[in-house]
Chains A and B, each alone.
Chain A
């Protein structure tokens, strides 16, 4: 579904991403992990069109999408959430999701009423229907994360990019959010590329893990292979924690 090859991105003198390549198959949940500054979010920004790659190729469903603007990438079926939620603070939950419904897919003649009706469905799905008329600025972190998920799902994506969806959530909320993501994958048949720092969650959720370090791909494998790899332990905890 998604094939990335030889991806490079620099910011001034800093090489944020160097020769990164991996693929995501349809229906998979792929984890993208790595220590802080490894280039995970940059890769996500490159896939979603927020940044333009210096070199390399990003192919989605056989079509090159590198360099396309974000809205066109969204229309091709890639949607994302943010590490730090970016809601429309002065808009209600329903209004925010309605924007996605109207603009995300090809719905040229959909009325505002119909779009709001469809947006209600996504809010119901993530458990925010009761808060549909609440301004985003009045929602708590968990609700904001769910709103981001609803907003992303409302664009009817084929591939969902999740950027640290569990950050800042307590264990109860995290497990609820995980259930929600699994349920979304099952119900909407989406593929997920997921950046996560909460290892317990990503190891349980993902079928495959890609590890980045210093902007380069360190390793790719099943969660079990990744968790036992010395290089990964060294990258996260330092060399002295590696048991030889």
Chain B
């Protein structure tokens, strides 16, 4: 016989010698599962609105870029202002191979992984050499340089128009079903990245990551192979971001550098980090949904995003100064939780 007791702050269920407590206060709820449940159920509500499905797919992909970026920021102990470089590299690799050589999505995925890993590995020594502001400046410039290349070699990259007509991941026959399936795939991708980031953060590697972010010289003295870790945490998130580019190519079936490589796109990612909180992988989802919904709202108003996004960014910096974001205000943080400092100017 199940016994239910109602206490002031919790509901207690008892069955034989088993006891289950459910805390009523929302911030103690089992947030990840409730959140995932909500996101899984979302298409049931907006099934007939492809525009909304696309918006939430975009939100999932934005979160899927921001979650690995969080790992990269802490693991390299440097602020990267250009993660979209690998989005561009991944996207163009998949699109070009699919269009010109007819490679199916599975092979373009493998090629994307190999190309992103190779390029990020070649560029990874900048995590040792370039310190502080210089690293941020280099990462800021690289996507812009790549964007220029897409215009210079317009025959190949199709400049402002971009590449169109890549083969879809699959076709379910009906447009609405395709939108729903892509939403679930983007959700799966985001949740997989979340799981990976969460597992790393809670493991022995997470502790080492925090030590590198705190003081890499001291970490080295304590036996941490800082150089190897930095390379790994530069290359691995870069590959994950590149896979998002591949996903965009085979779902939206159009890819233009001018959409993903300029500073506007990085601005959105910065807002996601500030809204979601710089240390919270889960917060990235909040931030991404906030940005995607905001973008959907302001798009009909014309090109006001050039004003609105910077204003939101400045407001987030001023109003959420502790870096915990909106998610941090809601989330109950234990005093002993590691909350990293992200400084552009480091030694």
Contacts and interface: CB of A to CB of B under 8 A. Distances in A.
A115 B204 contact: yes
A74 interface: yes
A103 interface: yes
A96 to B, nearest CB: 8
Given A74-B222, A105-B223, A133-B336, A110 B204 contact: yes
B131 to A, nearest CB: 16
Contacts of B168: none
Interface string A46-60: 001110000000000
Given A90-B340, A91-B214, A133-B336, A71 B220 contact: yes
Interface string B211-241: 1001101111111111100000000000000
B254 to A, nearest CB: 43
Interface in B9-43: none
B215 A88 contact: yes
Given A50-B217, A90-B339, A91-B214, A98 B224 contact: no
Nearest to A70: B220
A95 interface: yes
A75 B225 CA distance: 10
A71 B214 contact: no
A155 B338 contact: no
A103 B216 CA distance: 13
A70 B223 CA distance: 7
Contact of B222 (A49, A50, A103, A115): A103
Interface string A97-117: 011101111000011100100
Contacts of B202: 112
Contacts of A135: 335-336
Contacts of A69: 220, 227
B208 A99 contact: yes
A89 interface: yes
A208 interface: no
A79 interface: yes
B207 interface: yes
Contacts of B221: 48-50, 70-71, 74, 79-80
Interface residues of A, number: 34
A95 B206 CA distance: 10
Contact of B341 (A79, A90, A98, A105): A90
Contacts of A70: 217, 220-221
Contact of B223 (A71, A88, A98): A71
B338 A104 contact: no
Contacts of B299: none
B337 to A, nearest CB: 9
Contacts of B208: 99, 102-103
Contacts of A88: 210-211, 214-215, 218
Interface residues of B, number: 27
A139 to B, nearest CB: 13
A88 to B, nearest CB: 4
Interface in A146-198: 151, 155
Given A70-B220, A74-B223, A86-B215, A95 B335 contact: no
Contacts of A155: 222-223
Given A92-B336, A110-B204, A99 B226 contact: no
A69 B128 CA distance: 13
Interface in A20-79: 48-50, 69-71, 74-75, 79
A100 B335 contact: no
Interface string B177-219: 0000000000000000000000000111011101100110111
Given A90-B339, A135-B336, A95 B223 contact: no
B89 to A, nearest CB: 31
Nearest to A133: B336
Nearest to A100: B222
Interface string B116-158: 0000000000000000000000000000000000000000000
Nearest to B219: A99
Contact of A103 (B210, B217, B223): B223
Contacts of A96: 211
A49 B227 CA distance: 14
A79 B223 CA distance: 9
A95 B210 contact: yes
Q: Which of B204, B210, B211 has the most CB of A within 10 A?
A: B204
Given A86-B215, A112-B204, A99 B222 contact: yes
Report, nearest first, the 9 A-B pairs whose CB atoms are least far apart: A88-B214, A103-B223, A74-B223, A104-B223, A99-B211, A70-B220, A112-B204, A133-B336, A103-B224
5 contacts: A48-B221, A71-B226, A99-B210, A100-B223, A115-B204
Interface of A: 48-50, 69-71, 74-75, 79-80, 82, 86, 88-92, 95-96, 98-100, 102-105, 110-112, 115, 133, 135, 151, 155
Given A70-B221, A104-B222, 20 more contacts: A49-B220, A49-B221, A50-B221, A71-B220, A74-B220, A74-B222, A74-B223, A75-B223, A80-B221, A86-B217, A88-B210, A88-B211, A88-B214, A90-B214, A99-B224, A103-B211, A103-B219, A105-B223, A112-B203, A135-B335
Interface of B: 202-204, 206-208, 210-211, 214-215, 217-227, 335-336, 338-341
